[in-house]
Structure 1
Amino acid sequence: MRAGTRIVGALALLLAGAAQAEDGYRLWLTAPLHQAAGTGVAVLRATPTLMLAKNELATRLPAGANVTLATSGDAAVSALRLPFATLGDEGYLVRPVTLAGRPTLLVAGNTDRGTLYGALALLRHLATGGTMANATLTSTPKVKLRVLNHWDNLDETVERGYAGDSLWDWWTLPDRIDPRYTDYARANASIGINGTVLNNVNAKADSLTPRYIAKAAALADVFRPWGIKVYLSARFSAPIELGGLKTADPRDPAVAAWWKAKADEIYRAIPDFGGFLVKANSEGQPGPRDYGATHADGANMLAAAVKPHGGIVMWRAFVYADTDPSDRAKQAYTEFKPLDGTFADNVLVQVKNGAIDFQPREPFHPLFGAMPKTPLMMEFQITKEYLGFATHLAYLGPLFQETLASKTGRGAETVATVVDGSSEGHRLTGMAGVANIGRDRDWSGSTFNQANWYAFGRLAWDPALGAEPIAREWARQTFGTDRRVIDTAVTMMMGSREAVVDYTGALGLAHLMATGHHYGPGPWVDDLKRPEWNPVYYHKADRNGIGFDRTSTGSDAVAQYAPAIAKRLADPRTTPERELLWFHHVAWDRTMPSGRTLWQDLVAHYDRGVAYVADMRRRWDGVRDLVDRERWEKTATYLVVQEREARWWRDASLAYWMSVNGRQLPPGVDAPAHDLAWYKAQTFRYVPGHYD
């Protein structure tokens, strides 16, 4: 009850101020409040979650609405014999019925959480043009765990965070409960997110101390009525750092006993604690391989500790060697494929969408479809580490959809059917998104960045939803009903990610950014300690051509895909053009499907990317008088920044490629604004999201 009362009060204050200005705080939940008078919302059982649902509906439904909130176990609802059997724990149905002789719109699920999702879905239906008269809805999530990974540090900085400091005020928790924690939970519930990992995967052992467990428990108390569990990233060496042991070897009984005791301690404070996320043996993080053990040994030891409590372990597959491998893209497959079928039944292996590291475009990770005996959890990056931080408009719905729709080469199987478990029969399934949320007033650094948080949640609920319908759904809820604004926003969004690919590295190029902070171009970098840290390692440009040969004449990474996919990717004539240079070293003079040479095509992509940003600026200018001033001006300002930085990427990259290939620009193409030495001389300190 207290959580529901708290959010209604906070919203009333918020909306009173919103009459003067809109600053993005309300996210996509901008539907106006209605007078409660004349609106009837009945609850058959007064639980904290159902009362939250009631408060949401009572303040937003149009006058005259008559709604009943219930669960399938309520006697009156059970007598209706409605199709609850397929809804699981979180599905819902909304439909007109007659209860106790009165017509009403029933919102119900098998659990309180399902009913809450149904109530929020009804509000989304109304906010996107639906009516009470046609509100017959039903949906069940296809993915069980829909989780945000916060890369938030205990000093309240955020690794790869571009929206201010951490949302979690660790210093004042658990005493002060910021109202934003409730608003965060409400926003997540509205798109079906049911879990949050509170701390960075580059974890500190301190997160597992009693002091910080109490802070996590306070957040769990806020999130629980909204159907959200908390998880913690666990540092693998914690038994040494906190427990005084001499080893963290997962095969050591003392280590296993320490983790069991720690899990018991956490569950005493947080009875519904979700479990652990682990980054091990990657980028200097400790792990089981330090002791000659496998990833399965480490994951299973932790899984045994949390299993009595119903907990799970999400074990990241993001690994690469400390020495120069033949191809960094092969590392995860090489280490994890042989372990298929050896993980405990409460372990998910969390795999990034591509084999390198959240690049603007990567082919789908070859592990998807290669480990049929192991549940694989998708990991997307919502925060735009390589797609322009907070200031570049890049809607990631198309990136998420592109990956999920990819066929693995095993019959009709797609990445989505691997993730949702339907192709391989797994019941434990999950999708994680590295959050883009911070303490900025608009949560994500800009209005359009909010769409990526929204799209992740919607696709985690149902990977078959389309990027364009989701964009339209978000725009309608965010900007209102004016069709010109909605159409403009959706048009801008749908091509925006491709534009970033064009001006940062098209045709399969990747990892061309500057060192460390990843801000801006650095395709010339070749002096870093480890070879695979250098952009030259990935593009391999020389006088004759460009691209990474991953065929049998090179690293043979194509062999990690199913035979049908591998055969197609082994031949540059059948490799998708968008991935050509990812898999092949190609001559600059190769004739492309456009009829141009590869060099001419690459130049055209750079120009197309810059032109798209300029077109977004023009389109946004066209709705200046139709969007509230604060959000319009911030977006307009960032589009100016994006166009300037897109030109910087284009000019610096072309200057470098010309220094390598000795070719001139095609006739009529503008030369870079400066020489290569000027671009190489640019240095930046204190870049957001980068912490040593």
Structure 2
Amino acid sequence: MRCWLLLLLLGFALTPLHAEDGYRLWLRYDAIKDQPKRQQYLSQLSSIYIDDENTAAKNELTIALSGLLEKKPVFTPAASAGLIITTAKNISDKKIKSALTAANDEGYVIGWQHNKLFITANTNAGLLYGTFRLIQLIQQNESLNNLFITNSPSLHHRILNHWDNLDRSVERGYAGQSLWKWHLLPGYIDPRYRDYARANASVGINGTVLTNVNANARVLTDTYLKKAAALADVFRPYHIRVYLTARFSAPIEIGGLRTADPLDPEVKRWWKNKAAEIYQLIPDFGGFLVKANSEGQPGPQDYQRSHADGANMLAEALAPHGGIVMWRAFVYSHETPDDRAKQAYTEFKPLDGKFLPNVILQVKNGAIDFQPREPFHPLFGAMPQTPLMMEVQLTQEYLGAASHLVYLAPLFKEVLDADTYQPVAGNSVASVLQKNKNGGIAGVANIGDERNWCGHPFAQSNWFAFGRLAWNPAISSKEIAREWIRLTFGNNATVANTLTPMLLQSRETAVNYMTPLGLHHIMAYGHHYGPGPWVANKPRADWTSVYYHRADSTGIGFDRTATGSNALSQYAAGAQRQWENPATCDEKFLLWFHHVPWNHRMQSGRNLWEEICYRYNTGVSEVRDMQTKWHKLKPYIDEERFEQVRMLLNIQEENAVLWRDACVAYFQTFSRQPLPANYPQPAHSLDYYQQQNFYYMPGNPG
């Protein structure tokens, strides 16, 4: 059995069925062409000792070195090994032991002792992460001489949220169907499941929520729990815990109870029994992710109970087993007419300190909904007695799906680095997340069953960046980009020097041609692909675009100051000061917080209308610049991936032009000002743009 598994894993790295189709992600273990460097690695890694229980690390080294060095590694006793991968038992060097003492349970140390290279850690998880880090250094042709690295994750929970349904559709998914072949589980284990685990472990992701937050209670039945257990068995050697979404009404739907009231003794008993059943099948089960009383989902408020009542009931059921409840703060009432940006804070701020310790409040990076740009959510820093987990979206629901090249690390960093001005919780959002041992970060996955995993080859960078920032929020977007480029496209300097600035600019480019200057939620209705600033007259006002941009003859933007919705008051005084005055407000958030006259003078000297035109046209120009740069890389990129990206950039350019022309034509009806002479007129009438519809967009099943 072990021989078969090893051959299967080697086949993944060495003999892909499709040449360069992106399947290998950043785990591309092609032979090193730099012969001096290759010989150096061969001499340093000629023999390896690894603790017997670390089969995942041993298998990965076998795959990696067989490909990179074209020689299968030799595993020997510690005394004769050049590389030793072990917990503390074989370590005597004081420097390494001191660093190991400072490392947490998942941290590792890579260093030299008596002419031997060591990877050491306090746990097997740390050894696996350290092994992947060493492999990545070799992939990038980095020197191992005098190497000394000590590294520990800053956040405990680093989790992918799959919005996957049991019928294998994926809500807001743009890379095919779900990876999980529920109809074949548990009997058939797709080899791709192990490759998925390897990719996650390589960037330090340690948890995966298998199912959609718009939950189906059936996943908690015996049949599906056995299927989830089969996936957990695959992920366990890679130290990835499985989580499930819990539908709050499950006691009624699959339990036969008359109520799901969280204070009802029978309901409590049902959840405790269900938790015990799950842990019998999945001993290291992570816990539940819950979306309750939001967008039609059932929850404790159906019984006049609070979110704390509901979360604590589930937490009590999981606590004896070490499980957690991730309770989403994305709630907005059907009845409450207040600014949607305020409602999560209004709902949860009074509950600070009322949740059990194993409840984590999962808060979106911004208060609306994964927009191309939002100010940080006001709950960060406002709940010092509650563990928080930031939720970001890797799948590009509002950023062109998988057809647009948008590198999201700058978006994540903008929020993580933001100053909350809440000293009681630490200043930055990242420090708020790190304050509690149960803090963390969750990413809505952009993964599907397409051969290259994410649809767009460059969308893989967002999966990679999420893992790297979840491990270390202080790392720069640039460092992550260069690392991903070298691991994914090789070590050619021209490629790295061309693609790095292109990636770093790409998110700002998308903001320019979609939602500049603080505009938000002006996408087409439902699928959110393409422009729709005219969207109105829907079942809810806050499901329309006109609710958010509020354009009229006097100006444009949502007044969230004291003269408007007063959402600004939910932030600490320091944050309020930087945004409260339109004359000094950071222009990237100007229309988020203010309704601004069309003739308002911008920092550029242009008036607001001219600045809007400038930003939309700049976005289009920047996409065209991306096309030019990519075309120049043709001699350095394999044909398959080059052509795929070339075609997708063409689609992005067409869509950027559509965004520009549609939005400029629409907003001009309010500004009543001519387009600046140096910009092209929209190619069609406003009516033409309003009739456009991208039918059957994936990712939003009916």
Question: Given the two structures, how large is their TM-score scaled by the length of structure 2?
Answer: 0.94
- Map 1:116-195; keep pairs closer than 5 Å: 116-195=128-207
Query: Counterpart of 1:27?
Result: 25
Q: Which amino acid aligns with 2:58?
A: M
Structure 1 segment 521-532 matched on structure 2, within 5 A: 521-532=531-542
Q: 1:282 aligns with which of 268, 278, 294?
A: 294
Q: Structure 1 residue 464 and structure 2 residue 457: aligned?
A: no
Which SS does the other structure have where 1:507 is aligned? helix
Using the TM superposition, give the Cα deviation of residue 8 of structure 1 relative to its aligned residue in structure 2, in angstroms.
Answer: 5.3
Measured in 2, the distance between the counterparts of 1:174 and 1:481 equals 41
CA contact (8 A) 2:457 2:645 kept: yes
Of 554-563 and 657-666, more deviation after overlay is shown by 657-666
Query: Do the aligned residues in 1 keep the contact of 2:13 with 2:67 (CA within 8 Å)?
Result: no
Aligned to 1:42: 49
1:84 alignment partner, SS class: helix
Letter in 1 for 2:556: I
Q: How far apart, in 1, do the equivalents of 2:4 and 2:57 lie?
A: 12
User: Within 2, Cα distance between the matches of 1:118 and 1:61?
Assistant: 18
**Corresponding residue for residue 585 of structure 2:** 575
Letter in 2 for 1:22: E
Matched, 1:96 2:112: yes
Give the conservation status (yes or no) of the 8 Å contact 2:523–2:531.
Answer: yes
1:668 pairs with 659, 662, 678, which one? 678
| Letter in structure 2 aligned against 1:589 | N
User: How big is the shift at 1:479?
Assistant: 0.4
Trace 1:341-352 onto structure 2 (pairs within 5 A).
341-352=353-364
- Contact 1:174–1:214 (Cα < 8 Å) also in 2: yes
Give 1:420 deviation, angstroms.
1.6
Q: Deviations over 1:546-605 (max 9, x none)?
A: 000000000000000001111322111221110000000000000001000000001000
CA offsets, 1:28-73, max 9 Å, x none?
Answer: 1113258999721112434434534553565356479921110124
Q: Residue 365 in 1 paired to residue 392 in 2? A: no
- Displacement, 1:10? 3.2
Letter in 1 for 2:62: N
Q: Which runs of 5+ in 2 are unaligned?
A: 33-37, 74-80
Asked if 2 retains the 8 angstrom alpha-carbon contact of 1:145 and 1:194, the reply is: yes
Match in the other structure for 1:504: 514
Question: Counterpart of 1:296?
Answer: 308
Q: Report deviation, 1:134.
A: 4.0
- Is the 8 Å Cα contact of residues 533 and 545 (structure 2) preserved in structure 1? yes
Separation (CA, whole Å) in 2 of partners of 1:310 and 1:634: 45
- Matches of 1:59 and 1:240 in 2, distance apart? 54
Secondary structure at 2:19's aligned position in 1? Answer: coil
Find runs of 4+ consecutive structure 1 residues off by over 4 angstroms: 33-38, 60-65, 73-80
How far apart, in 2, do the equivalents of 1:489 and 1:224 lie? 35
Give the conservation status (yes or no) of the 8 Å contact 1:205–1:235: yes
> In structure 2, what is the Cα distance between the partners aligned to 1:43 and 1:406?
42
The alpha carbon displacement at 1:489 in A equals 1.4
1:494 paired residue number: 504
Separation (CA, whole Å) in 1 of partners of 2:534 and 2:365: 26
Moved more, 118-127 or 300-309: 118-127
Residue of structure 1 equivalent to 2:701? 691
* Residue 427 (structure 2) pairs with residue 413 (structure 1): yes
- 1:87 aligns with 103
Residues 198-213 of structure 1 mapped to structure 2, 5 A cutoff = 198-213=210-225
- Code of the aligned partner of 1:414: S
- Structure-to-structure mapping, 1:223-622, within 5 angstroms: 223-323=235-335, 325-411=337-423, 413-421=427-435, 426-622=436-632
Contact 2:382 2:422 in 1 (8 A): no
CA displacement, residues 168-224 of structure 1 (integer Å, 9 cap, x when unaligned): 111101111000000000000000000000000000000100010001000000000
1:650 aligns with 2:673: no
State the one-letter code of the partner of 1:6: L
User: 1:661: Cα distance to partner?
Assistant: 2.2
Matched, 1:59 2:66: yes
Q: C-alpha separation between the residues in 1 aligned to 2:63 and 2:473?
A: 26
3-state SS of the aligned residue for 1:571?
coil
**SS of aligned partner of 1:488:** helix
1:236–1:248 Cα contact (<8 Å) kept = yes
Structure 1 position 466, deviation (Å): 0.5
Residue 79 (structure 1) shift = 12
Change (3 A) 1:61 1:43: farther
Question: Contact 2:61–2:135 (CA<8 Å) still a contact in 1?
Answer: no
Superposed displacement of residue 136, structure 1: 1.9
CA contact (8 A) 1:217 1:270 kept: yes
CA–CA separation in structure 2 for the residues paired with 1:60 and 1:136: 25
Q: Which moved more, 1:81-90 or 1:213-222?
A: 81-90
| Deviation (angstroms), 1:428 | 1.1
Secondary structure of the structure 2 residue equivalent to 1:148: strand
Residue range with higher mean Cα deviation, 243-252 or 407-416: 407-416
Of the three residues 687, 690, 693, the one matched with 1:677 is 687
- Superposed CA deviations along residues 418-471 of structure 1, whole A, max 9, x for unmatched, are 1122xxxx1111100000000000000011000000000000000001101100
Distance in 2 of aligned mates of 1:73 and 1:42: 13
Counterpart secondary structure, 1:390: helix
Give the match's secondary structure for 1:85.
helix
- SS where residue 612 of structure 1 aligns? helix
> Does the 8 Å contact 1:53/1:115 carry over to 2?
no
Deviation larger for 540-549 or 482-491: 482-491
Task: Go from structure 1 to structure 2 and tell me whether the alpha carbon gap of 1:601 and 1:186 turns closer, same or farther (over 3 Å shift).
Answer: same
> How many equivalent pairs are there?
682
Structure 1: any 5+ residue segments left out of the alignment? none
Q: Name the CA shift for 1:570/1:181 in 2 (closer, same or farther; >3 Å).
A: same
**Residues 79 and 656 (structure 1), Cα distance of their counterparts in 2 relative to 1, 3 Å cut:** closer
Which amino acid letter does the alignment assign opposite residue 419 of structure 1?
L
Task: Report the Cα distance in structure 2 between the residues aligned to 1:13 and 1:584, rounded to whole angstroms.
Answer: 53
- Per-residue deviation at 1:324? 5.0
The 3-state SS of whatever aligns with 1:378 is strand
Secondary structure of the corresponding residue to residue 277 of structure 1: strand
Q: Is the 8 A contact 1:60 1:123 kept in 2?
A: no
